[in-house]
Structure 1
Amino acid sequence: MVLSQMDAGKALTAAAAKGNPEEVQRILEELRVHPDTLNEFGRTALQVMMMGNAKIAGLLLEKGADPNVQDKHGIAPAHDAARTGFLDTLQVLVEHGASVNLPDQNGALPIHIAIREGHRDVVEFLAPQSDLKHATVSGQTAVDVARASCVPHMMDALFAHVHS
């Protein structure tokens, strides 16, 4: 069965979004679909995958998916994993070359997003690798976001990594 590029992208992204690693693997290997094939919305499987499924992330990345692909808002998979709090997925992304210092269109790094969302374990993982002096478009560094979050443990999570 030969799929058109669009159908192949649609099938792969649908399997990734549903969190079906067996189907993702089948499409990648048997149908030989490139992991960065776009769906009808111009998104890759890594961009739409179920973020809590590190296995799918690993499959896509091992087959050559771009871990730093950004959508029209500058959001990369690392931003999504930080927002949703899936540390295991974020670790797989970083192991495969995802940058934790890639800003979205608002200048936010994944650590800014993880702080805002209150994901302490993600913040602790990102802090040593993140540019903590990087400011968003509105001028906020990670420390500023942590202070504004009013989540007491966020400053603690960052404190060990902030070098004034």
Structure 2
Amino acid sequence: MRESGSGAAAVFESGSESGSESGSGSGRRRKCSRRFEAGCKSGDVNNLLPREEAEAKAQNSTSLSPGLKAGAPTVLRNAEAPTVLHNKNITNEGTNNSAAVSPELAQLDWQDSAGWTALHHAASRAHSQVVLLLLNAGAQADALNHFGWTPLMIAVENGDVMTVGALLSQPANVNYTAPDGNTPLYLAAAHGGNVIAGLLLDRGARPNTPRRDGRTPLMAAVEDGNLELVQALIRRGADVNAVMGTGTNVLAVAAKRPANNEVVELLKQAGAK
């Protein structure tokens, strides 16, 4: 994951066991407990629970509530699109009450010095179960770090299907555009994330939203020679005649890549000129 894009160097402002605050005014940063920080970074859900409940669960050899155990989203392929998210088993049972989690979760959206929330950290480390716990407890799915990136964008760039699925179980904004011009769908296309792109498209991601330079998700897929994703984007209405700010169109992008004949032919069949 690129530090310049998503702020990978961020760290929690760790405090005491119980947590504290620093600074004053609207710009102050809240400190979370070391235990809460460790849970978000390590993926140990028990560290997000009150200590007495975590100890009881450890004695009973259970680390998650029944609802959270059943909460992992399942990604299945079908004939219509690359992927579909099936989240029928995602449940709030045992996780939607603030009394069921550590006191730090009463204020879920603390930000560290780089603007990262607990959800950003959990998403960046592929801790999908922690992501579900935080979301069910009320964490903001579209919280922004100082780079203007959401947890969803970080998970997409990392190619983490399970965490993307967890974030999409809540109304995460699939059409958000960051200050750097990236969207979740563009990131998926640029990083060869066919499965993730399918999830985003199924949730209503717009295929023709360009970056500031005019590059579209289709252009990213074309440049990568990703025939499967090019097909999927065209089926979802991607503009095969989109033009970048420099005047370069989709077909010209495809032609620049060696041995990209199948993609070029597909674009022409779809009406590219």
- Normalised by the length of structure 2, the TM-score is 0.55
Superposed, 1:124-143 pairs within 5 Å as 124-128=231-235, 129-143=237-251
Residue 42 (structure 1) aligns with: 148
- Correspondent of 1:148 among 239, 243, 256: 256
Cα distance between partner residues in 1 of 2:198 and 2:108: 33
Q: Runs of 5+ in structure 1 lacking a partner? A: none
Deviation (angstroms), 1:42: 3.1
Contact 1:79 1:113 in 2 (8 A): yes
Contact 1:16 1:50 in 2 (8 A): no
1:81 to 2:185 alignment: no
Contact 1:133 1:141 in 2 (8 A): yes
Deviation (angstroms), 1:74: 1.3
Structure 1 or 2, whichever has the larger Rg, is: 2
Deviation (angstroms), 1:114: 1.0
| Runs of 4+, deviation exceeding 6 Å | none
Deviation (angstroms), 1:88: 0.8
By percentage of residues, which structure has more helix? 1
Q: How many residues align?
A: 163
Q: Runs of 5+ in structure 2 lacking a partner? A: 1-102
Deviation (angstroms), 1:119: 1.6
Cα distance between partner residues in 2 of 1:113 and 1:96: 20
Contact 1:19 1:50 in 2 (8 A): no
Superposed, 1:1-164 pairs within 5 Å as 1=103, 2-3=106-107, 5-7=109-111, 10-30=117-137, 32-51=138-157, 52-128=159-235, 129-150=237-258, 151-162=260-271
* Farther off after superposition, 115-124 or 82-91: 115-124
Contact 1:111 1:123 in 2 (8 A): yes
RMSD of aligned alpha carbons: 2.0
By percentage of residues, which structure has more strand? 2
Contact 1:101 1:110 in 2 (8 A): yes
- Normalised by the length of structure 1, the TM-score is 0.88
